Amino acid sequence: MNAKETHIAISRHFHLSNKSLANLPHCASQRFNRNDLARFLGKHSFNKGAEIGVRRGRFSAILCKTNLNIELFCIDPWSAIDNKYPQERQDQIYEYAVNVLAPYNAKIVRRASLDVVKYFEDNSFDFIYIDGNHRFDYVCPDIIYWSQKVRSGGIVAVHDFYGGEPGVQKAVEAYVHAHYISHWYMTKELAPTAFWVKP
């Protein structure tokens, strides 16, 4: 699908009206959550994607279950950052994710996102889903560099637009403003996902 076709498909899938305030996201008219976004991606053959920040692999598994033809790159360093979780605990979480994703076509990449982004061609992904470190200085580079890997008509999605670190919201708003993306979307849940179509 090209960008226009993707916008139309999103509007139909999420039951959106044509009314929205300028520079604010279109919100799903019912209580659609990120699992519904995964179903949308599968239904419309967004087959090649990457999740940045995998944690236990639960959402990666949902992306795989909703699209049997998916090729999903699951990128996460599983490393101790800011002393939130010691490395031993991170290693346990990594092993859990490996087991959860074992039945699927998921390629697990245990490295920092910006260390591996250069190995992928620009415009080669149908979608990316960013859910890594939520601090502004980490979210911004993830959005900037991984967006370059998404084809025109593909989708860039960022989890925890509200409900997480304020850096996520600020990074998303800065990016869509700087790139003149006035037509973008958000799921309806406590920790919503913001997403937009690559022009």
pLDDT of residue 23: 58
CB 50 within 8 A of CB 92: no
Q: pLDDT for 148-171, tens place per residue? A: 999 999 999 999 998 767 899 999
Query: CB 119: neighbour CB atoms within 10 A?
Result: 9
Distances (CA, A) of 49 to 18, 82, 110: 28, 28, 16
Choose between 84 and 78: higher pLDDT: 78
Give CA separation, 47 vs 26, 65, 90, 114, 160, in Å: 24, 12, 29, 22, 23
Q: Are strands 150-158 and 194-197 parallel, antiparallel or unpaired?
A: antiparallel
Whether the Cβ atoms of residue 45 and residue 159 lie closer than 8 Å to each other: no
Q: Count how many domains the chain has.
A: 1
Q: What is the mean pLDDT of residues 176-190?
A: 91
CATH code, 41: 3.40.50.150
Domain of 39 in residue numbering reads as: 3-197
